[in-house]
Structure formats: structure tokens, C-alpha cells
Amino acid sequence: MQFIASQIALMVQGKIEGDAAAAVTSFGKIEEAVPGQLSFLANPKYEEYLYTTMASIVIINETLELKHPVTATLVRVPDAYSAFATLMTKYQELAASQLTGIQQPSHIADTVQLGEQVFVGAFACLGNEVQVGNHTKIYAGAVLGDRVKVGNHSVIHAGVKIYNDCVIGNHAIIHAGTVIGSDGFGFAPQGDGTYQKVPQLGNVVVEDFVEIGANSTIDRATMGSTIIKKGVKLDNLVQIAHNVEVGANTVIAALTGVSGSTKIGKNVMMGGQVGVAGHITIADGSRINGQSGVTKSIKEPNKAFNGTPAFDFSASMRVQAVTRTLPELEKRVKELEKIVQQLLSERVNA
């Protein structure tokens, strides 16, 4: 697909400096781009490449003052990074819109309801009474269990498994290998040391504009629903246990695990490898640093936390600073002990 600078400026509400008819057909990094590619500059560390890039069009911040001449056509916008992301999204949507129909072999039950302009890839399996909304893409090898509902404009990538009765909203993206609706980890200890499985009879509800990374797992509720609310972004390899609720616009980085029945507020940010205990609450706007362990509820909103067990971020940084000096402090304490022993000895001998 080809776009010219004037079209790009219209899509991102930018101002053109240079040739409004300059054309591009693909994207490239500013330091590697070739003629016919679109690039952007948002990080000042890369400004030097603006003056040498071969890109035909570059999106830049409207506040950037040029230090040297440039050969590329410039499109100035308030936020170059966001504008570039918008263009890439539109490009992806246009490419995906051309993909429709049902590839064979695939299995689609007679009771399935498919919306308009749906794509179903080869070896996909759609169970009884599945409902798929308009313009949704289901790629190769995906499995949708009985009575699964998927909204409009959603993307289910290759190899995704969605168990019976789960609900996926509109404009959701679920990446390859993710499993939604597998049984929660519920086992009742028995007197003889064995464990009796507790049936997991609920489901998972994923609301609109959620994106779930590859090979993540979201367990179905024991009763009721595990809920991933609107706008949540989960990285790859994230584990969400049964009956968890993740609040709107929360972001969770890779290798994080959230234990059962925990309630996470909206606009929470979790770094990688965070561990969250079960049956606790995390207040809105909390920021939890990577590799932290949250063992009890966070009740005050918009605070940062670090460490295991997690506590106030600023305090934890001070603790780390002091910890690095412990070897020197130990040495000084031992020297002081020697001095004290020497003084005591001299006092006794006096």
C-alpha cells in the first residue's frame, strides 16, 4: 500500500515541511530507513540520524528545532511517537481488512454464528453455539470452545485456546499460544494427604480493547467470572488466576503471576516478574516495580512499591542504598569492638 505525505498529515493532523507528494510504502527505523519508507523521531538521542536518514518521510515533534538541513519530507505533530503508532495501526487494519473467508480444513459447528467480513484460518475449531462478531480474525489452529462469544474487530492469533463459555469483547487482541478459561488451581486437602479437585464452573470475561500477549494464561472462575476489564494490556507469559479482577487500563509486564480472587484496581502498572498473593486488593494507580512480591492489600491509591514483601518505593531505595554499605559498616563495627575491648582491658589493668 502506498501513502503520500499529504495523506499522512491528514491522518495524524500534522503539518508538512517539504514535498507533499512524497510517497512511502513501508516503515523503517530512522537510522536504517531507505527511500520509500516512513520513519519517526521521538527520542532526542536519535536526532543525529534525522540529518542523514534516507527515509522519504519522517514524523517529528512540532517543537523540534532543526540544526541542519534535511532531505526527507517532514510531518510535524504534537507527539511523534503516538502519531507513528496511529499510522502503523491504520496500516495494519487496512492489511487485515483484506483477509476474509474461511480456510480449509477447519471445523465450524452448524450452530456457530459468524458476523460480516470474518476470517477463520486453517485448522481452527469453533464449537457449538460460538458467536463471532463483525470483522474479527481467527487465525490458524485457534480453538473456541462451546458457547464462546467474540466481539467485533477482534483478533485471535494462531494457536489460541478459549475454553467453553468465555467472553471476548470488541477490539481485543489475543496473541499466539494464550489459553483463556483453563481450570483455576482449586484442590481441597483430604485427611489421607490427597487432594480433591474443586470444579471450576465459572468463566473468563475479557472486555473491549484488551490485548493479551503470547503464551499467557487466564484461569476461569470457580464460580462467577475472572474479569479483565476494558483497556487492560497484558504482556507475554502472564498468569492470571481464578476469580481475579484486573481493573481498566491496567498494564502488567511479562512473567507476572496474580493469585486467585485478587482485585486489581484501574490504571495499575506492574513490572516484570511481579508476584501477587491471593485474596488481596491493589488500589487504583498503584505502580509496582519489577520482581516485587505483593503479600498484602495496597489501600492507598497512586503509590509506588518495590521489593519483597513490597513496600514504599522511596523507602526501599534508601534501604538498598544502606544495604550496599553494610560490608564497610561491618568492618567499622569490628574495629570499634576491638577498640572497646582494648579500653576495657587497659581499665582493668590500671
**Mean confidence (pLDDT) of the chain:** 95
Tens digits of residue pLDDT in 66-102: 999 999 999 999 999 999 999 998 888 887 777 899 9
| Coil/strand/helix, residue 108 | strand
Amino acid 285: pLDDT: 98
Query: Residue type at 193?
Result: G
Pick the closest to residue 59 from 37, 74, 71, 79 (CA basis). 74
Percentage with pLDDT > 70 across the chain = 100
List 135, 153, 175, 242, catalytic entry: 242
Amino acid 38: pLDDT: 97
Q: For every residue of 6-30, which 3-state class applies, written as one string? A: HHHHHHHCCEEECCCCCEECEECCC
**Rounded CA separation 161/158 (Å):** 9
Percentage with pLDDT > 90 across the chain = 87
Cell representation of residue 26: 513501508
Amino acid 325: pLDDT: 87
DSSP string, 40-74: EE-SGGGHHHHTT---SEEEEETTPPPSS--SSEE
| Coil/strand/helix, residue 138 | strand
Tens digits of residue pLDDT in 237-290: 999 999 999 999 999 999 999 999 999 999 999 999 999 999 999 999 999 999
Summarize the confidence of residues 89-118 as an average pLDDT. Answer: 91
Amino acid 132: pLDDT: 98
**Residue 157 bears catalytic tag:** no
Predicted structure pTM score:
0.84
Walk me through the domains of the chain, giving residue ranges and CATH numbers: 3-97 (3.40.1390.10), 101-314 (2.160.10.10)
User: Quick one: pLDDT band at residue 349, thresholds 50, 70, 90?
Assistant: confident
